[in-house]
């Protein structure tokens, strides 16, 4: 019997070393995009906000790889700097609900009773609103700007993390080893931090990889509707919106940023699939 | 409508063919059947049923006995082409009335299922569709195959239910599976399986999930149905007592292979494989139903961790060094008996002790 | 029994509805500074600001304000639009049918797209069709709905002009016709999610014992797929659609703007840009009520489709 289980452990370890192909593919796609965003000044030769009204709506050329927009700004520069803006905002907008939701879920699941009831009723109220509607309402109330967008997304999306983590916590807290540490008289904070959180956080991480796709979509959508990051800061959504008036003559203006969004989403989804496989979490 | 449906002369199809004359190999022939799966999380494939051969004559009841994980359920599923995702037939042949079911594709399987061979599952709760009324489930397949009208099908459903000893069938048939007791559910499943009057019924531990008293009722029901309709049974179980009640012949499976076969009476009197001996010892009295096997030290090997040589040797008290390597094929002992044990004589003397205990 | 079930469900909604009204009530207090001043703009006279504060009841203590707010809601009074200078409720009632119709288009369209794709994928998990569906879904889940709409406009409005690419038309037939592209856009945006869940539940159903038993009984492949596979997966599909109603509504809000449809979504965006608080608040309320009602209907549909759900 012992030999069998030892063999099994060895095989498992060998499997670990081989990363899921989805993880590698997603990492590669995302790596390129994030790389471009970080090194934006190095890969572009124009300031994304500099207008050149003598050269508007120019097609692709050696000087302007993707042409210029209606104000003569370089589309490639705006695309790359747009990645910078949108990815950064999305990253913060996924991090803060991740932290808040995970904590709320752990505490609600572990302590139960009134705290649990309050958190879950609050979650019920939030999901009674469609995601976009509540985000738009909050951005409207708080005024335009990056901070409002992040707060709005946080208020709405902590719920999913809280629900997932609460469920996982309910399972984890009744596991024998947790009950055992409890019996041994370890402090509650130690049990929660050392035994519960590490066990439930992987599910939250995997969810975060699909949640960040939704957040990017939300940020871009707000930009498209004119409720997002205020111009002239380059933002993919705003680019697509302003390109729409030129659909008949310059359809590429509003489709190219969309392709950038789709590629980013694809990279993140693949990364999420790979991560789920690696952490063996059901998606 | 006395006892009705099941004993009525068959109306159509190959069922009119008389039972196989003696000399013909039999109703069902399984030859060198090998089934492989991938253990969870692994790429490699391992054989969970290896080189299994047996046949079943018309009207005969054969027991297939082994612990869970011995491959007996997969053998049944392979016969009907119902292997779960991930399990595949690696080799061998399955012939029903001479028609190959493995190489014949979906058509030949489809033609045989229901009317020729059918299967009763272990857990009627999961084998019945939870969102369809049981009355419909009894006849939905037969209705298409036998071309019954709506009215005919509901009459047949009632008749079948009555024949399965279901009291108040009118009420029962309009219920959903979760509203029935375990015993009733199993009767419903048997009714559904027998709706097309199959000639061979594969039973996958149909009583394991039931209470002891209900188990006895279902076994009695199967025995009665078999007598009335002359259908053949292949009965998978880990319960030797049930085999003693229902079957004429017995084959014992361990870790994916048949290790012993022969007539029930002879094997019970004098087993020729230490594993069979252990099973019989674990059953205090073959007429008493036991819930689980006890008495054989250790546990069956895990999938993909089959020991070399005789798979049973790590748990066997008669094992010698020769047992731990080489192939262990079934050896013919004459009189329809066979064993895979290379220490048949030692086993026989150990079995005499068994008689003494009795 | 069904009535009692409904009553119990409704009772469970009470805290949610209470929370929704509370959140909407407090929303005005989230506005930095003096709300009335903020919405009326810098050029508004102090008397106009004072009048609006009085009209919104902001001169009362908070509990009284909330009471007045509830009282107004119960009487169907959502306040006076700042921009249109007319009753918000009346404004919304005029816009609601477009949005509801578009939602129906989107829901029906997504089912028409998802069920065949999920079936194709689930019949041979890991096969070529499954992989293709999965790839399409992974790409699709990252597509902004308005971008899908833009692409459809380019394709069906400019390249192959068959469908109107904007507006709602004047007559009923033209209404229905003009919603085809927007509806398709919503359906395409919602489908990846739906396909994913449907595929999972269909694979589960097709791998179940009851399907194996149906095959053993000799049921034909089409009977197995429809009565055993899809019938059981439909139960799951209903709840998936129900849970994602918020997503569906969100897409509708965005898509109305892409296709310039006179629904609640385009009104909401316009009112945000006009800083017309009562209208934004009213639309949010309508959408929340819509979502809560759909949740309720989903529960009921689930109870009807799945006899195992206890109606107590």
Question: Cβ B129–C212 below 8 Å, yes or no?
Answer: no
pLDDT at C129: 92
Measured between CA atoms, how close is C145 to chain B, in angstroms?
36
**Measured CA angle at B349 (ends B343, B353), to 5 deg:** 135
Residues of A within 8 A of B42 (CB-CB) are: 11, 15
Higher pLDDT, A277 or A221: A221
Tell me how far CA of residue B251 lies from CA of A100, B64, B89, B237, in angstroms: 61, 5, 21, 11
Rounded (10°) CA dihedral A20, A26, A27, A28:
110
Q: Which residue has the higher pLDDT, B217 or B281?
A: B217
A275 CB neighbours in chain C (<8 A) are none
Which residues are B202's β-sheet partners? B119, B234
Q: Tell me the torsion sign for CA atoms C136, C142, C144, C147.
A: negative
B41 touches chain A (CB under 8 A): yes
Residue that has been written with the tokens 């009705």 in this structure: B4
- The domains of chain A are located at 21-46+72-282
- Using CA atoms, how far apart are residues B161 and C242, in angstroms rounded to an integer? 39
Output the pLDDT for position B184.
Answer: 92
Going from the C-alpha of B319 to that of each of A2, B79, B316, B346, the distances in angstroms are: 20, 33, 5, 10
DSSP code, position C156: I
Q: Does C231 touch chain B if contact means CB atoms closer than 8 Å? A: yes
In chain C, which residues have their Cβ closer than 8 Å to the Cβ of B194? none
Is it true that domain A21-46+72-282 has CATH number 1.10.3720.10? yes
Residue B354 has pLDDT above 70, yes or no: no
The C-alpha torsion from A264 through A266 and A269 to A271, rounded to 10°, is: -80
Q: Which of B44, B304, B311 is best to mutate for the A interface (most A CBs within 10 A)?
A: B304
Interatomic CA distance for residues B282 and B292, integer angstroms: 9
Of the pLDDT bands very low, low, confident and very high (cuts 50, 70, 90), residue A134 is very high
Q: Does A191 have pLDDT greater than 90?
A: no
B339, two tokens: 């064993």
Give per-residue pLDDT as tens, C213-249. Answer: 999 998 888 888 888 888 888 887 788 888 888 889 9
Contact list in A for residue C150 (CB cut-off 8 A) is 240, 244, 247, 254-255, 258
Element (H, E) at C135: helix C128-141
Distance from CA of B305 to the nearest CA of A (A): 7
- pLDDT reading at B15 higher than 50: no
C158 contacts chain A (CB < 8 A):
yes
pLDDT band at B232 (very low <50, low <70, confident <90, very high): very high
Mean pLDDT of C166-190: 88
Alpha helices in C28-87 (DSSP H): 35-40, 46-55, 62-74
Contact C306 B131 (CB under 8 A): yes
Taking CA atoms, A39 is separated from A24, A34, A43, A84, C213, in Å, by 22, 9, 7, 9, 60
pTM of the predicted protein model = 0.80
pLDDT averaged over every residue in chain A: 84
Tokens of C288: 């929340």
Residue C160: pLDDT over 70 = yes
Which residues of chain C are within 8 Å of residue A153 when distances are taken between CB atoms? none
3-state secondary structure chain B: CCCHHHHCCCCCHHHHCCCCCECECCCEEEEEEEEEECCCCCCCCEEEEEEEEEEECCCCEEEEECCCCCCHHHHHHHHCCCCCCCCEEEEEEEEECCEECCCCHHHHHHHHECCCEEEECCCHHHHCCCCCCHHHHHHHHHHHHHCCCHHHHHHHHHHHHHHCCCCCHHHHHCCCHHHCCHHHHHHHHHHHHHCCCCCEEEEECCCCCCCHHHHHHHHHHHHHHHHHHCCEEEEEECCHHHHHHHCCEEEEEECCEEEEEEEHHHHHHCCCCHHHHHHHHHCCCCCCCCCCCCCCCCCCCCCCCCCCCCCCHHHCCCCCHHHHCCCCCCEEEECCEEECCCCHHHHHHHHHHHHHHC
pLDDT in tens, B300-350: 787 777 888 888 888 888 888 888 888 888 888 888 899 998 888 888 888
Closest residue, chain C, to B120 (C-alpha): C213
Give how far C281 is from chain A: nearest CA, Å: 8
Task: Compare A162 and C158 and report the one with higher pLDDT.
Answer: A162
Chain C neighbours, 3+ Cβ pairs < 8 A = A, B
Q: What is the pLDDT of residue B14?
A: 40
Determine whether the interchain pair B305/A4 forms a contact, defined as Cβ–Cβ distance below 8 Å.
Answer: yes
Q: What is the mean pLDDT of residues B222-231?
A: 89
**Domains of chain C by range and CATH?**
2-74 (no CATH), 90-305 (1.10.3720.10)
Q: What angle do CA A189, A195, A200 make, to 5 degrees?
A: 110
pLDDT: which is higher, B239 or C104: C104
pLDDT given at position B285: 59
Indicate whether A17 pLDDT > 70.
no
Closest chain B residue by Cα to residue A2: B305
Min Cα–Cα distance to chain B from A189, Å? 35
The encoded tokens of residue A154 equal 């946080």
Q: Which of A220-234, A267-281, B273-287 has the lowest mean pLDDT?
A: B273-287
* B310's tokens: 């005789």
Task: Answer with the residue of higher pLDDT: A182 or C191.
Answer: C191
* Subunit contact C142:A143, Cβ cutoff 8 A: no
pLDDT range class, residue B24, cuts 50, 70, 90: low
Which residues in chain C touch residue B128, judged by CB atoms under 8 angstroms apart? 210, 213
Beta bridge partners of B251: B64, B261
| Rounded mean pLDDT, A232-257 | 83
pLDDT of C301? 85
Asked if the model's pLDDT at residue B275 lies above 50, the reply is yes
Q: For testing the chain A interface, which of B42, B69, B297, B298 should be mutated: the one with the most A CBs within 10 Å?
A: B42
Of the candidate ranges A80-89, B90-99, B100-109, B234-243, the one whose mean pLDDT is the lowest: B100-109
Instruction: Look at B41 and A7 and tell me if their CB atoms are within 8 Å.
Output: no
CA distance A270 to chain B (A): 20
Tell me whether C168 touches chain B (CB under 8 Å): no
Q: Which two tokens stand for residue A268?
A: 């993140």
C41, C140, C250, best to mutate vs chain A, most A CBs in 10 Å: C250
- ipTM of the complex as predicted: 0.89
Give the pLDDT score at B293: 45
Q: Is C27 on the interface with A (CB under 8 A)?
A: yes
| φ/ψ (deg, to 5) at B80 | -95, 10
In this complex, is the C-beta atom of B297 within 8 Å of any C-beta atom belonging to chain A? no
Residue B6 has pLDDT above 60, yes or no: no
Cis peptide leading into A232, omega within 30 of 0?
yes
Convert A114-123 to b/e letters by CB count within 10 Å (16 or more is b).
eebeebbebb
pLDDT greater at residue B1 or residue C175:
C175
Backbone angles phi, psi at C127, to 5 degrees: -80, 180
> Distance between CA C7 and CA C188 in Å, rounded?
36
Tell me what pLDDT residue C310 has.
Answer: 66
- What residue of A is the nearest CA neighbor of B305? A4
- Tokens 């709905």 belong to residue: C145
Between A217 and C47, the more confident residue is: A217
Render pLDDT for C32-68 as a digit per residue (tens, 0 to 9).
Answer: 777 777 788 777 788 888 888 887 777 788 888 888 8
Q: pLDDT: is C26 or A7 the higher one?
A: C26
Average confidence (pLDDT) over C197-207: 88
pLDDT in tens, B142-196: 888 888 888 888 898 999 999 888 889 999 999 999 999 988 999 999 999 999 8
The answer, yes or no, to whether residue B7 has pLDDT greater than 50, is no
| pLDDT at residue B23 is higher than 70 | no
pLDDT, residue B191, reads 92
A7 close to B (CB below 8 A):
yes
Whether A7 and B42 lie within 8 Å, measured CB to CB: no
Q: Which of C124, C125, C133 is CA-nearest to residue C221? A: C124
Mean pLDDT of C144-169: 85
C78-101 pLDDT, tens digit per residue, is 888 888 888 888 899 999 999 999
Shortest CB distance from B114 goes to which of C125, C207, C218? Answer: C218
To the nearest whole angstrom, how far is the Cα of C18 from the nearest Cα of chain A?
9
Residue B61: burial class (beta carbons within 10 Å; 0-12, 13-18, 19+): buried
Q: Of C222, C208, C307, C232, which Cα lies nearest the Cα of B141? A: C222
């Amino acid at each position: 019997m012992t030999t069998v289980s030892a063999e099994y452990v060895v095989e498992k370890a060998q499997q670990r070393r081989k990363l899921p192909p989805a993880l590698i593919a997603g990492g590669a796609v995302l790596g390129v995009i994030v790389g471009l965003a970080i090194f934006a000044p190095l890969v572009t030769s124009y300031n994304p906000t500099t207008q050149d009204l003598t050269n508007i709506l120019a097609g692709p050329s050696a000087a302007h790889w993707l042409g210029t927009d209606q104000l003569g700004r370089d589309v490639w520069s705006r695309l790359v700097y747009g990645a910078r803006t949108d990815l950064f905002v999305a990253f913060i907008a996924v991090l803060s609900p991740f932290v808040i939701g995970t904590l709320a879920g752990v505490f609600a699941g572990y302590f139960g009773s009134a705290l649990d009831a309050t958190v879950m009723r609050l979650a019920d109220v939030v999901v009674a609103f469609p995601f976009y509607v509540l985000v738009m309402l909050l951005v409207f109330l708080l005024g335009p700007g990056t901070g409002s967008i992040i707060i709005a997304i946080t208020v709405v999306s902590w719920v999913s993390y809280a629900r997932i983590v609460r469920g996982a916590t309910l399972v984890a807290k009744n596991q024998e080893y947790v009950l055992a540490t409890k019996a041994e008289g370890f402090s509650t904070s130690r049990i929660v931090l050392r035994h519960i959180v590490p066990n439930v956080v992987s599910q939250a991480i995997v969810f975060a990889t699909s949640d960040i796709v939704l957040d990017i979509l939300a940020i871009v959508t707000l930009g498209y509707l004119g409720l997002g990051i205020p111009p002239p800061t380059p933002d993919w959504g705003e680019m697509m919106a302003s390109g729409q008036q030129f659909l008949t003559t310059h359809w590429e203006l509003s489709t190219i940023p969309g392709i950038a969004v789709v590629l980013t989403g694809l990279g993140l989804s693949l990364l999420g699939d790979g991560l789920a496989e690696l952490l063996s979490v059901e998606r | 409508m006395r006892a009705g449906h099941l004993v009525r002369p068959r109306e159509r199809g190959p069922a009119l063919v008389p039972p196989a004359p003696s000399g013909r190999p039999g109703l069902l022939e399984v030859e060198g059947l090998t089934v492989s799966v991938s253990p969870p999380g692994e790429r490699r494939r391992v054989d969970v049923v290896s080189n299994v051969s047996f046949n079943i004559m018309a009207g005969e009841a054969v027991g297939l006995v082994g612990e869970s994980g011995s491959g007996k359920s997969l053998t049944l599923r392979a016969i009907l082409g119902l292997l779960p995702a991930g399990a595949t037939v690696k080799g061998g042949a399955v012939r029903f009335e001479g028609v190959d079911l493995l190489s014949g594709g979906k058509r030949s399987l489809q033609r045989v299922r229901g009317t020729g061979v059918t299967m009763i599952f272990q857990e009627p709760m999961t084998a019945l569709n939870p969102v369809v009324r049981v009355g419909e489930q009894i006849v939905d397949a037969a209705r298409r195959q036998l071309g019954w009208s709506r009215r005919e099908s509901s009459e047949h459903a009632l008749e079948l239910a009555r024949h399965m000893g279901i009291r108040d069938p009118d009420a029962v048939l309009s219920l959903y599976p979760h509203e029935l007791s375990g015993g009733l559910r199993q009767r419903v499943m048997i009714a559904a399986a027998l709706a097309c009057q199959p000639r061979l019924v594969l039973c996958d531990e149909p009583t394991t999930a039931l209470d002891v008293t209900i188990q006895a009722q279902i076994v009695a029901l199967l025995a009665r149905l078999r007598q009335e309709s002359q259908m053949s049974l292949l009965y998978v179980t880990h319960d030797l007592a049930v085999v003693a009640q229902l079957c004429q012949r017995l084959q014992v499976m361990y870790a994916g292979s048949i290790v012993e076969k022969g007539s029930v009476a002879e094997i019970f009197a004098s087993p020729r494989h230490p594993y069979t001996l252990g099973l019989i010892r674990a059953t205090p009295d073959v007429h008493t139903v036991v819930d689980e096997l006890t008495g054989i030290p250790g546990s069956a090997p895990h999938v993909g961790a089959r020991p070399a040589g005789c798979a049973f040797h790590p748990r066997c008290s008669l094992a010698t060094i020769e047992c731990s390597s080489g192939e262990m094929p079934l050896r013919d002992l004459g009189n329809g008996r066979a064993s895979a044990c290379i220490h048949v004589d030692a086993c026989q003397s150990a079995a005499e002790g068994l008689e003494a205990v009795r | 029994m069904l009535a009692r079930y409904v009553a119990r469900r409704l009772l469970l909604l009470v805290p949610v509805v209470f929370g929704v009204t509370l959140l909407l009530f407090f929303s005005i207090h989230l506005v930095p500074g003096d709300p009335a001043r903020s919405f009326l703009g810098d050029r508004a006279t102090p008397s106009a600001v004072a009048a609006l504060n009085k009209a919104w009841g902001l001169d009362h203590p908070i509990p009284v304000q909330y009471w007045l707010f509830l009282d107004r809601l119960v009487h169907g009074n959502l306040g006076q639009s700042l921009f249109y200078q007319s009753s918000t409720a009346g404004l919304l009632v005029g816009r609601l049918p477009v949005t509801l119709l578009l939602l129906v288009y989107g829901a029906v369209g997504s089912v028409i797209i998802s069920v065949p794709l999920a079936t194709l994928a689930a019949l041979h998990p890991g096969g070529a069709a499954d992989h293709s569906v999965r790839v399409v879904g992974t790409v699709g889940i990252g597509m902004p709905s308005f971008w899908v709409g833009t692409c459809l406009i380019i394709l069906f409005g400019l390249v192959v002009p068959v469908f109107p690419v904007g507006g709602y038309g004047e007559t009923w037939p033209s209404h229905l016709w003009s919603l085809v592209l927007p509806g398709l856009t919503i359906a395409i945006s919602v489908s990846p999610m739906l396909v994913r869940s449907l595929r999972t539940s269909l694979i589960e159903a097709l791998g179940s014992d009851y399907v194996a038993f149906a095959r053993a009984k000799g049921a034909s492949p089409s009977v197995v797929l429809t009565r055993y596979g899809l019938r059981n997966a439909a139960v799951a599909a209903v709840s998936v659609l129900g849970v994602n109603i918020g997503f569906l509504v969100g897409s509708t809000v965005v898509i109305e703007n892409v296709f310039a449809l006179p629904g609640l979504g385009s009104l909401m965006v316009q009112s945000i840009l006009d800083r017309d608080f009562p209208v934004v608040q009213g639309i949010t309320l309508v959408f929340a009520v819509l979502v809560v009602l759909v949740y309720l209907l989903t529960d009921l549909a689930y109870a009807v489709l799945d006899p195992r759900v206890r109606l107590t």
